[in-house]
């Protein structure tokens, strides 16, 4: 596991573990590194650090390594880890908090995934539900990859799989209230 930064120094943020616990609610102190989370993780093959390693790195205060890891963006929020953890460590809440912190501090390594995350949530906040066509268009403009999926996009439009206009959820006020509370 890489604990050394680019300048060859190990950086420790002693408050990091406490901050993650307080703000995500994940009781990372309970983790005894049994590996159950990592062994059942369907995205593990694409991660630079496995889920149990991220927990350990958070405990150790390796803030920079955690917030620049690909793991937090490759995580699919499937809940397999949290539901199997013998100590009920909320890894999903932890990953969510790490992603938001990484975004806020401009440290996100997987730019396209980070852009997808931001646009996806932006649409939900705006309409209360997802509008796939605008999600795709915004992501294409953001990543400047304009033409790679045009043929499949046209097919989906023809089959009615993509709606031209977004529909607003009736209880949009409640959805926006959730976002406001989450921001606080
Ligand atoms: S399953 Fe739970 S206790 Fe085991 S390594 Fe993962 S977080 Fe730690
Ligand atoms: S929630 Fe993320 S870390 Fe946990 S098992 Fe699913 S993909 Fe892996």
Contacts of 106 (CB under 8 A, 6+ apart): none
Name the residue at shortest CA distance from atom 3 of ligand 1: 31
Phi-psi group of 9: left, alpha or beta (phi > 0 → left; psi -120 to 50 → alpha; rest → beta): beta
Residue 163 lies in a domain: yes
Among 74, 104, 134, identify where a domain stops: 104
Q: What is the DSSP string of 63-106?
A: HHHHHT-SHHHH-----HHHHH-TT---HHHHHHHHHHHHHHTT
CB of 169 closer than 8 Å to CB of 128:
yes
Nearest-atom index, ligand 1, CA of 88: 2
Average pLDDT for the chain: 89
CB of 156 closer than 8 Å to CB of 150:
no
Reported as type and span, the H/E element at residue 150 is helix 150-158
**Residue 114 Cα, ligand 1 centroid: separation in angstroms?**
26
- pLDDT tens-place string over residues 23-54: 999 999 999 999 999 999 999 999 999 999 99
Same domain, 99 and 38: yes
Cβ–ligand 2 distance for 83 under 6 Å, the answer no
Cβ–ligand 2 distance for 91 under 6 Å, the answer yes
- pLDDT tens-place string over residues 117-141: 889 989 999 999 999 989 888 888 8
Among 79, 104, 129, identify where a domain stops: 104
Say how many domains are in the chain.
2
Residue 37 lies in a domain: yes
pTM of the model: 0.76
Both tokens assigned to 134: 């605008």
DSSP state of 42: T
Residue 6 lies in a domain: no
Predicted local distance difference test score (pLDDT) of residue 142 = 83
Name the residue at shortest CA distance from atom 8 of ligand 1: 31
Residue 5 lies in a domain: no
Q: Which domain holds residue 152?
A: 111-183
Same domain, 71 and 133: no
Residue 37 backbone phi and psi in degrees, to 5: -60, -45
Same domain, 96 and 115: no
């Amino acid at each position: 596991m890489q604990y050394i930064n680019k300048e060859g120094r190990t950086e420790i943020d002693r408050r990091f573990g406490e901050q993650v616990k307080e703000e995500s609610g994940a009781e990372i102190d309970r983790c005894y590194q049994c590996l159950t989370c990592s062994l059942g993780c369907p995205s593990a093959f694409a991660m630079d650090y496995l889920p149990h390693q991220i927990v350990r790195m958070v405990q150790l205060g390796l803030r920079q390594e955690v917030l620049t890891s690909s793991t937090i963006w490759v995580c699919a929020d499937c809940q397999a880890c949290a539901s199997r953890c013998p100590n009920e460590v909320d890894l999903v809440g932890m990953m969510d908090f790490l992603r938001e912190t990484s975004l806020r501090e401009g440290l996100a390594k997987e730019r396209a995934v980070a852009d997808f995350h931001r646009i996806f949530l932006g649409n939900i906040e705006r309409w209360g539900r997802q509008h796939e066509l605008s999600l795709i268009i915004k992501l294409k403009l953001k990543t400047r990859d304009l033409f790679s999926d045009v043929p499949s996009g046209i097919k989906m439009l023809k089959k009615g799989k993509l709606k031209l206009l977004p529909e607003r959820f009736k209880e949009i006020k409640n959805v926006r209230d959730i976002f406001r509370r989450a921001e606080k």
